[in-house]
């Protein structure tokens, strides 16, 4: 594989035209879209319009005039096809943490008994998911919520008749390993358990089939592959079959049947809208709304195909240059078994990450000794991959990462 | 009182210079800043900078480089002096609904027993506050959380030894009536109860003295008198004395002692930061951060004094023109006993509100038959009040609100 081969890949890329939709800083190869997606150009315009025209000029009337009041639903419906959900099952609101709390509480209240009180997750799930289950256990007590985390490989066999809820993330944040959600859902249902899936590292990077897999509930993030901006509100999916059986406990006024009647008694909205709580952050949510326009008419199979080719190219180049002696791949060898990222174990992962940043290659470090590269098929080119590996090779071969300045920086991302 | 008197008031107004800090649409008198504050000009610039420079160019590194990671705390510290809180007690996050859920759960877990399980609020509190208590009762059961709502006038005497938490809003959203928080806090403490105060209609409109009043916990909104933008994140106050005794249950990763260690076991941050849950919405939160600069060196006694003069002038003019025969004031007669708003009962309140909107006067309607006028001392002038009453007089005297088109509009705000 040489640079010419890579250029051919780019010239045949059906998604190449999307790159121009993004604002990408000069002299930077951004391989961290799995942490924070890049800025779509159309979002700049929308944020300006919402701030200056809608808020500035039209003020309170914008709740109707610009349909702010339905923004959570409108954004939800744009996310729905991306995650394989038919209409009326997805809504945009709050953070993943808050949404998991809502879903997990609702699932336990509906499905839990004294003998079915376990919440099963994997020890290596993204920590906020684990923390939320621990927080709920603290509030409800072990009799109602007994949180159990197991090794990822033991998840399937850990589900039994004492399981109330299985709570998993499809793509592991650290290793990039994909779980088989369909099998986990089948197993959960065989044992009378419900399943909640976190799609933080899936949505927008690959096809997801929530309806077909018969998943009960899901949450996800809009600031990674959906490019909604830093800390953009998250989303909630609840299967139609369950919606009116569940009652989530954070019963804020936006989930009320008729919030503007100001009735002192809570009555949930029917359907997915009862999962709303407080007033939505309109500026942040409008940014996502605009970013999602890029997914109109986008075939997620094409996105996935490019993602697989990107990760395969990267890993092949690492091997081709013999860098795999030092950078040990944590991610699965088969591209089919991983998400749109590659992680490597390396004693100096933190320092390497810093040295690469200095050379314009943005990846991220994950404690204790992993470096993680994310590939965003909408704006990363094959040439990006080539150039990034060239820089890694240079840093590794010159031991540049050992310079003391790299060890001294504080890690926060 | 005539227009010349009003012009004298404006020319002597020490806050007059602030009006120019806001983007105010032409030909509009905006008396709805108690629902959505106007756009500060500096917010336009900040939102553009955060979107285009910080997110667009600096991408993931902005979490450190532009200190996004500390934005919730930074904004909290700017709000603190506005609500009479010393350092380390206020943080910006989530919505009022979500924050009330955190505080009420934490308060009940800490202070509740089988014989002390009541949450007392007033029947006329803002509905989301009531709904959250109802939702928590649904989750925890009546043994742990028995929600009781009483008439506002009976609040004080309803607090007894069975009360775990008193949950009140200082300024009533409908009537504008102020509660005596100091007395309610004293009474709550005498009976071993905790108090949670909602400052949605207080913060930024008048001095608040949380520390001096010895309040335990508070929440508030940043999109009314603090001008943070539509649905901007809310804030939480927890008194130093209580912070490390409480454990809130929505234990997201931003409240973890060391989120970037990705430890599977939750360990709360010490102090106010444990009240964070998920990743904050950076664009919306940056808007507040900029809006709060207007409160640097601002004397809230001066703000309150102008607020009192504005509401008094408005009500005097209503009386002067004999409009009080039809518009019956719901708000207290004494300006000292009300917030920065005036509400009137009128059978055609909805239609009047629509007719005024057509004439460039923005107020809001509250079911079933109230019209509510909010006065924002930073950008409303005395001339605004004069001109608004002129329009009301015109609409009332010509019965213009009876035109059928006004009754037909849908009410949502």
Contact of A262 with chain B, judged by CB distance below 8 Å, is answered with yes
Buried b or exposed e, range A380-393, using 16+ CB within 10 angstroms: bbbebbbbbbbbbb
Residues of A within the annotated binding site for pyridoxal 5'-phosphate?
A: 96-97, 126-129, 169, 198, 201, 223, 253, 279
Please say whether the dihedral angle defined by the alpha carbons of residues A86, A88, A93 and A96, taken in this order, is positive or negative: negative
Nearest to A55 among B39, B127, B412 (CB): B39
Place of tokens 């009876």: B402
Q: Quick check: do A3-30+299-408 and A48-295 share a fold?
A: no
CATH 3.40.50.300 fits A48-295, yes or no: no
Residue B72 contacts residue B276 (beta carbons within 8 Å): yes
How do beta strands B118-122 and B39-40 pair?
Answer: unpaired
The span from the CA of A15 to the CA of A308, in Å, is 14
Contact of A76 with chain B, judged by CB distance below 8 Å, is answered with no
Phi and psi at A197, nearest 5°, equal: -115, 130
pLDDT in tens, chain B (413 residues): 899 999 999 999 999 999 999 999 999 999 999 999 999 999 999 999 999 999 999 999 999 999 999 999 999 999 999 999 999 999 999 999 999 999 999 999 999 999 999 999 999 999 999 999 999 999 999 999 999 999 999 999 999 999 999 999 999 999 999 999 999 999 999 999 999 999 999 999 999 999 999 999 999 999 999 999 999 999 999 999 999 999 999 999 999 999 999 999 999 999 999 999 999 999 999 999 999 999 999 999 999 999 999 999 999 999 999 999 999 999 999 999 999 999 999 999 999 999 999 999 999 999 889 999 999 999 999 999 999 999 999 999 999 999 988 876 554 43
How do beta strands B370-374 and B364-366 pair?
Answer: antiparallel
Burial class (CB in 10 A: 0-12, 13-18, 19+), A11: exposed
Look up residue B103 and give its two tokens.
Answer: 């505080």
Q: Which of A118, A138, A132, A125 is nearest to A188 (CA)?
A: A118
Mutate to test the interface with B, among A140, A233, A264 (most CBs of B within 10 A): A264
For chain B, the structural domain boundaries read 3-30+299-408, 48-295
Q: For residue B60, how many C-alpha atoms fall within 13 Å in the half-sphere facing its CB?
A: 25
The span from the CA of A166 to the CA of B392, in Å, is 59
Q: Which of A372, A375, A382, A406 is catalytic?
A: A372
Look up residue A374 and give its two tokens.
Answer: 């994310």
C-beta atoms of A130 and B264 within 8 A: yes
Task: Collect all residues of chain A within an 8 Å Cβ-Cβ radius of residue B254.
Answer: 97
The model's pLDDT over A146-192, given as tens digits with 9 standing for 90+, comes to 999 999 999 999 999 999 999 999 999 999 999 999 999 999 999 99
Burial class (CB in 10 A: 0-12, 13-18, 19+), A88: middle
Burial class (CB in 10 A: 0-12, 13-18, 19+), A113: exposed
The span from the CA of A334 to the CA of A300, in Å, is 19
Q: What mean pLDDT is reported for chain A?
A: 96
Strand order in the sheet with B234-238: B90-93, B234-238, B217-220, B194-198, B163-169, B118-122, B146-150
The span from the CA of A87 to the CA of A276, in Å, is 17
DSSP track, B301-366: HHHHHHHHHHHHHHHHHHHHTTGGGTSEE-S-SSGGGB-SEEEEE-TTHHHHHHHHHHTTEE-EEE
Question: Distance from CA of residue B362 to its chain's centroid?
Answer: 19
Q: Give the residue ranges of DSSP H helices in B28-180.
A: 41-48, 62-65, 71-79, 96-111, 127-140, 155-158
Look up residue A173 and give its two tokens.
Answer: 């944040």
Rounded percentage of chain A residues whose pLDDT exceeds 90:
96
The fold of B3-30+299-408 is: 3.90.1150
Contact of B119 with chain A, judged by CB distance below 8 Å, is answered with no
Question: Checking phi first, is residue A270 left (phi over 0); if not, alpha (psi -120 to 50) or beta?
Answer: beta
Task: Collect all residues of chain A within an 8 Å Cβ-Cβ radius of residue B121.
Answer: none
The span from the CA of B226 to the CA of A153, in Å, is 50
pLDDT at A409: 59
- Strands annotated E in B111-183: 118-122, 146-150, 163-169
Q: Is A120 helix (H, G, I), strand (E, B) or coil?
A: strand
The span from the CA of B95 to the CA of B234, in Å, is 5
- Name A65's Cβ contacts closer than 8 Å, sequence gap at least 6: A54, A58
Q: What spatial distance separates the first Cα and last Cα of chain A, rounded to whole Å?
A: 33
DSSP track, A238-301: E-HHHHTT---S---GGGBSSGGG--SS--BPSGGGGG--S---HHHHHHHHHHGGGGTT--HH
Calculate ∠ Cα A233-A373-A79, nearest 5°.
30
Residues of B within the annotated binding site for pyridoxal 5'-phosphate?
A: 96-97, 126-129, 169, 198, 201, 223, 253, 279
The span from the CA of A45 to the CA of B231, in Å, is 20
Q: Which of A299, A379, A382, A311 is nearest to A341 (CA)?
A: A311
Average pLDDT over residues A377-386: 98
Residue B364 contacts residue B352 (beta carbons within 8 Å): no
Residue B159 contacts residue B187 (beta carbons within 8 Å): yes
Burial class (CB in 10 A: 0-12, 13-18, 19+), B189: middle
Nearest to B281 among A101, A131, A231 (CB): A231
Q: What is the CA radius of gyration of chain B?
A: 22
Average pLDDT over residues A397-405: 92
The span from the CA of A52 to the CA of A47, in Å, is 8
Total H helices, total E strands in chain B:
15, 15
| Model confidence at A404: pLDDT above 90 | no
Residue B44 contacts residue A56 (beta carbons within 8 Å): yes
C-beta atoms of A277 and B364 within 8 A: no
The model's pLDDT over A273-303, given as tens digits with 9 standing for 90+, comes to 999 999 999 999 999 999 999 999 999 999 9
Beta-carbon contacts below 8 Å between A and B: 302
- Name A292's Cβ contacts closer than 8 Å, sequence gap at least 6: A75, A78, A79, A82, A226, A228
Q: Which of residues 212-241 of A touch B (CB under 8 A)?
A: 223, 229-234
Catalytic residue flag (residue A126): yes
pLDDT at B69: 97
| Model confidence at A411: pLDDT above 70 | no
Question: Distance from CA of residue A400 to its chain's centroid?
Answer: 33
Q: Which of A153, A163, A211 is nearest to A188 (CA)?
A: A163
Structural element, H or E, at residue B8: helix B3-11
The model's pLDDT over A97-124, given as tens digits with 9 standing for 90+, comes to 999 999 999 999 999 999 999 999 999 9
Q: Which of A307, A324, A335 is nearest to A392 (CA)?
A: A324
- Name A107's Cβ contacts closer than 8 Å, sequence gap at least 6: A164, A165, A194, A196, A216, A217, A246
Catalytic residue flag (residue A223): yes
Specify the length of chain B in residues: 413
Phi and psi at A130, nearest 5°, equal: -65, -40
Contact of B283 with chain A, judged by CB distance below 8 Å, is answered with yes
């Amino acid at each position: 594989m040489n640079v010419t081969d890579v250029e051919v890949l780019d010239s045949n890329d059906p998604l190449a035209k999307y790159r121009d939709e993004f604002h990408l800083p000069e002299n930077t190869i951004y391989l961290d879209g799995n942490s924070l997606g890049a800025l779509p150009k159309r979002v700049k315009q929308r944020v300006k319009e919402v701030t200056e025209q809608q808020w500035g000029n039209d003020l309170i009337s914008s709740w109707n005039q610009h349909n702010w009041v339905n923004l959570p639903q409108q954004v939800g419906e744009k996310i729905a096809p991306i995650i394989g959900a038919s209409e009326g099952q997805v809504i945009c609101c709050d953070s993943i943490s808050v949404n998991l709390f809502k879903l997990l509480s609702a699932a336990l209240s509906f499905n839990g008994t004294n003998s079915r009180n376990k919440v099963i997750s994997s020890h290596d799930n993204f920590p906020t998911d684990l923390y939320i289950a621990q927080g709920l256990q603290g509030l409800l007590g072990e009799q109602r919520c007994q949180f159990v985390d197991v090794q990822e490989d033991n998840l399937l066999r850990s589900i039994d008749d004492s399981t109330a809820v299985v709570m998993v993330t499809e793509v592991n944040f650290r290793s990039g390993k994909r779980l088989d959600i369909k099998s986990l859902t089948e197993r959960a249902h065989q044992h009378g358990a419900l399943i909640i899936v976190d799609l933080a590292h899936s949505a927008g990077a690959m096809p997801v089939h929530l309806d077909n897999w018969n998943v009960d509930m899901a949450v996800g993030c809009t600031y990674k592959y959906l490019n909604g901006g830093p800390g953009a509100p998250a989303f909630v999916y609840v299967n139609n079959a369950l919606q009116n059986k569940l009652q989530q406990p954070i019963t804020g006024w936006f989930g009320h049947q008729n919030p503007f009647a100001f009735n002192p008694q809570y009555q949930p909205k029917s359907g997915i809208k009862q999962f709303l709580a407080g007033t939505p952050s309109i500026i942040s949510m409008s940014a996502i709304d605009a970013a999602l326009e890029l997914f109109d008419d986008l075939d997620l199979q094409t996105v996935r195909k490019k993602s697989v080719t990107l990760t395969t190219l990267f890993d092949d180049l690492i091997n081709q240059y013999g860098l795999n002696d030092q950078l040990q791949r944590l991610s699965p060898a088969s591209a089919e078994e991983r998400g749109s990222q590659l992680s490597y174990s390396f004693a100096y992962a933190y320092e390497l990450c810093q040295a690469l940043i200095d050379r314009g290659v943005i990846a991220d470090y994950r404690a204790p000794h992993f470096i993680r590269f994310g590939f965003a098929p909408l704006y990363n080119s094959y040439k990006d991959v080539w150039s990034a590996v060239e820089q890694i090779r240079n840093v590794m071969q010159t031991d540049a990462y050992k310079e003391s300045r790299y060890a001294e920086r504080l890690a926060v991302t």
